[in-house]
Amino acid sequence: MEKLYVIKIGGRVIDDESKLAGFLKDFSLIREKKILVHGGGKLATELALKLNVPQQLVDGRRITDSETLKIVTMVYAGLINKSIVAKLEANQCRAAGLCGADGGFIQAHRRVNAFMDYGFVGDIDGVRDEFLLSLLESGISIVVAPITHDGKGQLLNTNADTIAQEIARAMSRNYEVQLVYSFEKSGVLLDAQDESTVIPRIGPAYYAQLKEEKKIFAGMIPKIDNAFAALRNGVSTVLIGKAEELSDLINNKSGTKISNE
Amino acid sequence: MEKLYVIKIGGRVIDDESKLAGFLKDFSLIREKKILVHGGGKLATELALKLNVPQQLVDGRRITDSETLKIVTMVYAGLINKSIVAKLEANQCRAAGLCGADGGFIQAHRRVNAFMDYGFVGDIDGVRDEFLLSLLESGISIVVAPITHDGKGQLLNTNADTIAQEIARAMSRNYEVQLVYSFEKSGVLLDAQDESTVIPRIGPAYYAQLKEEKKIFAGMIPKIDNAFAALRNGVSTVLIGKAEELSDLINNKSGTKISNE
């Protein structure tokens, strides 16, 4: 099967113009088919502050009232998404910027939670692959903003890591999918303060041991849980590492490889 | 040739939730291929006001400094574009929201003007039809936000009427194109204050006479000039009329038809 990269880029890299430019250059040089999923939380928080819209985060999830939904839609699907597309086009990388509502390609519903109202936050029901397939097959790379919809006209703020995973999973019916979580760290670290302690490979048994020994810091656990879930659902490889080293990361020369073996 | 509607929706309709919903319902019911081009100036002005970014308009064109460019990109390509897409999807109208940078489908350059620096405002060099064609042929309607790019990574604020005209012109190689300017007025009026004075049809000679007698109000002249330019470039019909009466408008039961005859 042909290879497809589904690459999530973390928020802190997006905020740094020169790091982002370097990342997008590396991304443009990938000759295989590719999808980029981005967030942009810091810029959204900054805009909310300027607009006096109070922000509340619970376990890293943004409580999304109607004003906050407007803000994240503007920042993620407007400013960040289209800025990335324009830069990719300048690198001769033909790209289309989408959110999950476009072509109805991500179906989601508003999160139901008995203890907490997250507001307009979406949980994903499924990804339709046809729309993405036809774009990829016509030579276009896809840039995805983390906004979905409920099919009834309501936009929903949705976790970008989860979107990357769900896209990777859906596309694994058609491609050999490499799911890449790229961010400001060099990979999964044994010591969160020491960038030289990257763990090159994590399998299920070692992961259980690391969690047991509390050697993995809390923010990393949902990423790795997502990674194993993706592998169980047909994704070929999951890589975690530094956005600035994207070429090395996808060639397995840096970062952490999560594998079922 | 197969029919394609290229429909521009005016800003005041976008600001009115119930009018917009009615318009989008009519749009969704069009069985032929269709492209919607929108602006959204009032919402952009409101956001600029909240963010204390002074706005300057010259002849209806927004001087676009870098902060204003961020605002229009957020409002047009983010909030308005994706809200429209979500509503169309809810109407079972499969839609993709794009700006001119996506798929590099509109080439533009920053406006050069010896007397006035418009800032990050784009003038259009051309429209690549392949990307739009492949979406339309796969059954997807297209929603276009009036943001373009210069191919070197710079986004540009671009007049939505002009975008609609340039798209109509480019697509007339492949379709019988009906270009529709829909807004809050019933059509081109003999008396700008009286909605019952719609002129049903305007040809070149009659237009010259209307201008000569100063019977057309200034804001309408660029629209009609654009309409004749479109007709000279292969567009089949240009219709101008009320967004709330879209079905009647495209069936030539209301509004003004601009024709070369």
ipTM given for this complex:
0.94
Q: How far is B150 from chain A (nearest CA, A)?
A: 8
Cβ-based contacts of B90 with chain A (< 8 Å): 149, 151-153
- Quote the crossing angle between the two packed helices B129-137 and B160-171, to the nearest 10°: 80
Segment (H or E) for B49: helix B41-50
* Listed ranges A217-221, B10-14, B113-117, B127-131; the one with the highest mean pLDDT: B127-131
Region of poorest pLDDT, from A163-172, A217-226, B82-91, B231-240: A217-226
CB contacts under 8 A, B 23-62 vs A, are: 50-51
Beta strand B57-58 pairing with B61-62 = antiparallel
Q: Is the pLDDT of residue A220 over 90?
A: no
> Following DSSP, what letter does each residue of A98-133 receive, concatenated?
EETTGGG-EEEEE---SS---BSBEEEEEE-HHHHH
- Window 127-186 of B, Cβ < 8 Å to A: 130-131, 134, 138, 140, 147, 149, 151-155
Q: What is the mean pLDDT of residues A195-202?
A: 93
- Contact flag B89-A138 (C-beta cutoff 8 Å): no
Task: Closest CB to A82: pick one of B89, B140, B155.
Answer: B155
Pairing of strands A57-58, A61-62: antiparallel
Rounded to an integer, what distance in angstroms lies between the CA atom of residue A22 and that of residue A243?
9
Contact criterion met (CB < 8 Å) for A96 and B94: no
Q: Can you list the domains of chain A with their CATH numbers?
A: 3-258 (3.40.1160.10)
pLDDT over 70 for what percent of chain A? 100
Q: What is the pLDDT of residue A24?
A: 98
Q: CB distance B89–A134 less than 8 Å?
A: no
Between B77 and A192, residue with greater pLDDT = B77
**Is pTM, for the whole model, over 0.90?**
yes
| Least Cα separation, residue A72 to chain B (angstroms) | 9
Exposure class string for A158-190: b at 16+ Cβ within 10 A, else e: bbbbbbbbbbbbbbbebbebbbbbbbebbbbbe
Does residue A216 carry a pLDDT above 90?
A: no
Q: pLDDT tens digit string along A224-250?
A: 988 998 999 999 999 999 999 999 999
Query: For all residues of chain A together, what is the average pLDDT?
Result: 94
Distance between B96 CA and the closest CA of chain A, angstroms: 4
Q: How confident is residue A146, by pLDDT bands cut at 50, 70 and 90?
A: very high
Chain B: nearest CA to A186, how far in angstroms? 28
- B contacts of A87 (beta carbons < 8 Å): 153
Of all residues in chain A, what percent are helix, strand and coil, respectively (each to 5)?
40, 25, 35
Q: How many angstroms separate the Cα of A68 from the Cα of each of A16, A86, B15, B195?
A: 23, 26, 19, 39
DSSP state of B63: P
Nearest Cα residue in chain A from B69: A79
Cβ neighbours around B109 below 10 Å, total:
16
User: A4 near A142, Cβ under 8 Å?
Assistant: no
pLDDT of residue A126: 96
Question: For B86, which of A50, A78, A155 is closest by C-beta distance?
Answer: A155
Residue with tokens 């210069």: B150
Q: Which residues of A are less than 8 Å from B104 in CB distance?
A: 89, 94
Closest-CA distance, A169 to chain B, in angstroms, reads: 22
A38: β partners: A9
Which residue among B78, B138, B149 places its CB closest to the CB of A134?
B138
Q: How far is B230 from chain A (nearest CA, A)?
A: 27
Among candidates B94, B131, B155 on the partner chain, residue whose Cβ is nearest the Cβ of A83: B155
Closest CA to A237 of A170, A166, A177: A177
Nearest to B219 by CA among B256, B178, B185: B185
Number of other CB atoms surrounding residue B81 within 10 Å: 31
Spatial distance between the Cα atoms of A60 and B133, rounded to a whole number of angstroms: 41
Beta-bridged to residue A62, according to DSSP, are A57
CA dihedral B186, B220, B14, A38 (to 10 degrees): 150
Q: Rounded mean pLDDT of chain B?
A: 94
Most confident among A174-183, B12-21, B191-200 (mean pLDDT): A174-183
Residue B58: the pLDDT is: 84
Q: What is the structure's pLDDT at B141?
A: 98
> Is it the case that residue B6 has pLDDT exceeding 90?
yes
Indicate the pLDDT class of residue B25, thresholds 50, 70 and 90.
very high
Residues of B in contact with A149 (CB under 8 A): 85-86, 89-90
User: B45-84 pLDDT, tens per residue?
Assistant: 999 999 999 999 887 788 999 999 999 999 999 999 999 9
What region, left, alpha or beta, does residue A104 occupy, with left being phi > 0 and alpha being psi -120 to 50 degrees? left
Lowest mean pLDDT among A20-24, B24-28, B205-209, B221-225: B221-225
d(CA A198, CA A192): 9
Over residues A52-92, the pLDDT tens digits come to 999 998 877 889 999 999 999 999 999 999 999 999 999 99
Q: Which residues of B touch A79 (CB under 8 A)?
A: 70, 73-74, 78
DSSP state for residue A198 in the 8-state scheme: B
| pLDDT attached to residue A223 | 81
Amino acid at A173: R
Following CA atoms A79, A84, A154, A103 in sequence, which dihedral angle do they give, to the nearest 10 degrees?
140
Q: Is the pLDDT of residue A18 over 80?
A: yes
Residue B64: strand pairing partners: B119
Model confidence band, residue A178 (pLDDT cutoffs 50, 70, 90): very high
Residue B177 in this model has a pLDDT that exceeds 80 = yes
A20 in B contact zone (CB under 8 Å):
no
What pLDDT was estimated at residue A60?
Answer: 73
Yes or no: say if A85 and A79 are a contact pair by the CB < 8 Å rule: no
The reply to whether B101 touches chain A by the CB within 8 Å rule is yes
Instruction: pLDDT band for B113, please (50, 70, 90 cuts).
Output: confident
**Partner residue opposite A79 with nearest CB, options B73, B87, B140:** B73
Quick check: A83 and B73 CB within 8 A? yes
pLDDT value for A215:
83
Element (H, E) at B8: strand B3-9
pLDDT tier at B218, thresholds 50, 70, 90:
confident
What are the chain B neighbours of A89 within 8 Å (beta carbons)? 101, 104, 149, 151, 153
Q: Is the pLDDT of residue B219 over 80?
A: no
- Which residue type occupies B160? A
pLDDT of residue B222: 80
